Amino acid sequence: MKFLLYLGCTTATKQYGYELSLRATLPLLGVELEYPKDMNCCGVPMKGISKFYPYYACARIMALAESQGLDIIAPCNGCHLNLTETIYMLKLNPPLMSAVNELLKDEGLEYTGRATVYHPVEVLHDRIGVEKIASAIKRKLPEMPVSSHPGCHLVRPTEFPRPETRNGPLKLDRLIEAIGLKARDYPEKYECCGAAILPYSPEAAIRVVATRIKRTLAVGSRAITSLCPYCIDMFDGKQDAAKTITGDQSISIPALYYTQLLGLALGLDKKELGINLNMSPVEVLLEEVKV
């Protein structure tokens, strides 16, 4: 399996732990990653500025993948949704498709609709498979309760095919169990982390993530994991701010990418996985898994 790694902006500019852990773990499971030479923003936060920009930006990304004959792996939920939406909207709207292609032609590119887009959760669960991951790991992590936070755009909107559905267990939860951990549900699992409110009001956004963290602590989870850079940016990086704003000092839980946990199970070093870049109290978790 070979994919073009389209990281998007958040992962490539500050969530280095995600990029490091993706690059370290996926090749061990037989996935080849090609890094692009030419890339642009997918346009998720720019939807409010112009509804047409995401179509052009995403078509450009897909055209670049087509020019290399590869499919895309998009580790960000926002990018994944925007790319999927563009594929559908352009196929349903031929005049828009030809207009976008007119712009791309000027850059020597063309989008035909051949390339598809995958999220790491699909690659890990559907393409590699839970059994293969369970047999590939070097050691099982201890059976401790971990909550997954899939993130809005992995489950919504149902208008377009999404990697996860709310019917039955999540793929992400099955993946968590494959490396020995216990997946624990919590009441606000399918809710929003609040990242998109940050530009309007940082305080409001942090209040959102604070309630999510309190809910995971209430059900006894020992860590929180996700495969979305926005979610982990909030859960991992905003805990101190959440303590200050809400005045609740109990807000403290290790927050890691699933690929970082997977890397630990595959016997990789914590530095290779960028775990030393996480801001949340990950040491507590590392002690328990004995690394």
Partner 1 sequence: MFILSRRLILTFKFSLEDTVKELRPQLCYQCMKCSSGCTAAKVVDKYRPHEIVALVKAGYSDELINSDVIWACSACLKCAEYCPQRLSPFEVVMALRNEAIVRGRAPPKSFVEMAKSILELGHIQKPMYIMSKDFEEVSRTELGLPEMPKPKDIEKFKQHVLLVGFEKLKGIV
Q: Return residues touching partner 1 (CB under 8 A).
A: 9, 12-14, 16, 19-20, 35-41, 44-53, 55-57, 60, 95-96, 99, 102-103, 106-107, 152-153, 156-159, 191-192, 194-201, 204-205, 207-208, 211, 274, 276-278
Peptide bond into 157 cis (omega under 30): yes
Rounded distance, CA 102 to CA 85, Å?
20
* Residue number, 145 or 281, with CB nearest to partner 1: 281
* Residue number, 113 or 157, with CB nearest to partner 1: 157
Contact of 189 with 150, CB cutoff 8 Å: yes
Contact of 154 with 228, CB cutoff 8 Å: yes
Rounded distance, CA 84 to CA 71, Å?
12
**Maximum separation of any 2 CA atoms in the chain, in Å:** 58
* Residue number, 35 or 143, with CB nearest to partner 1: 35
For residue 16, the minimal CB distance to partner 1 (Å) is: 6
Rounded distance, CA 223 to CA 225, Å?
7
> For residue 197, what are its two tokens?
């409110």
For residue 164, the minimal CB distance to partner 1 (Å) is: 13
* Residue number, 107 or 143, with CB nearest to partner 1: 107
For residue 135, the minimal CB distance to partner 1 (Å) is: 29
For residue 246, the minimal CB distance to partner 1 (Å) is: 11
* Residue number, 128 or 162, with CB nearest to partner 1: 162
Identify the CA nearest to 87 among candidates 168, 150, 159, 179.
159
CA triple 23-26-32, angle to 5 deg: 85
For residue 41, the minimal CB distance to partner 1 (Å) is: 5
